[in-house]
Amino acid sequence: MNIIPLAPEVINKDARTGLILVCDHASNFVPENLNGLGLDPKHLEDHIAIDIGCAEMTRKMAEMMGVAAVLAPVSRLVIDCNRDPLSTTMVPTVSDGIIIPGNHGLDSIDIAIRKRAYYDPFHSTIEELIAAHLAAGQIPIVAALHSFTPEMNGQERPWGAGLLWNRDPRLAQALIGLLERETDLVIGDNEPYSGQDLYYTMQRHGADHGLPQATIEIRQDLLSNDAQITEWSALMADLLDECMAREDIVQIKHY
């Protein structure tokens, strides 16, 4: 299979401000030679293909704060950058009950080609930014921006936002408290799913190095237009600024 490699989108590459934003599911792009993965085009606009509102939010926050950001270049249906390379769901064959025809019957070589083209450059770029911050004497917070559908597999999700963490709770717990202070929303602690089950990008680039990290999840109906996205971007920028000023958060700490 002939696939042209595609680098991630990088914003403020030279910034060394103490925060790196990551957007694993920023795009619904499917390379032309994959023929839309055999899906009805409407599914490529849906939550199974992209974290709705997150790319726009990541770009706005990076602009507001002057921080570095890395956005994945292809749909999570092509390859999911927030999955362990050994995960059977790195190239999903079904998502929220929707069969992905173009992902059926792939062998290990097919998957490895996609990984080299899209997944590896995304993670290598994050690694380079973290190394550059540390070389400059800056301990970076690493924050992943995600959004979630209000209903999944027939179950409603009541949380307006959620913070995911694995063994290192310091950034997530701080942001939960700040969101509860600033909003009247129900804020999830390891909801709508647990970082102890799904946390690959933050574990690899944050927790494994002792860096403060968390996944920020916003419900997609709260990111449905530009005004909402701008409001959330400004709020999270302010809250992350608070966290960046806290010595109890910004330190290397292994759990």
101-160 confidence digits (pLDDT tens): 999 999 999 999 999 999 999 999 999 999 999 999 999 999 999 999 998 877 889 999
Determine, yes or no, domain membership for 210: yes
Burial classification of residue 228, based on how many CB atoms lie within 10 Å of its CB (0-12 exposed, 13-18 middle, 19 or more buried): middle
Among all chains, which residue has been given the structure tokens 């914003």?
11
Determine, yes or no, domain membership for 249: no
Task: Name residue 178's amino acid.
Answer: L
pLDDT in tens, 217-245: 999 999 999 999 999 999 999 999 999 99
Determine, yes or no, domain membership for 4: no
| Strand-by-strand arrangement of the 187-189 sheet | 9-11, 68-71, 19-23, 141-148, 213-219, 161-164, 187-189
Determine, yes or no, domain membership for 2: no
Determine, yes or no, domain membership for 1: no
User: Facing residues of 10 across strands?
Assistant: 70
**In terms of Cα–Cα distance, which of 117, 127, 99, 168 is closest to 20?**
127
CATH number at residue 133: 3.40.630.40
Determine, yes or no, domain membership for 152: yes
1 confidence band (pLDDT: 50, 70, 90): low
The chain-wide mean pLDDT, for the chain, equals: 96
Q: For residue 75, give its domain range.
A: 9-244
Percent of the chain with pLDDT over 90: 95
In whole angstroms, what separates CA 253 from the centre of its chain?
22
User: Facing residues of 99 across strands?
Assistant: 94
Determine, yes or no, domain membership for 15: yes
- 151 Cβ partners below 8 Å, 6+ apart? 157
- Count of domains forming the chain: 1
pTM of the model: 0.97
Do residues 61 and 69 touch, judged by C-beta distance below 8 A?
yes
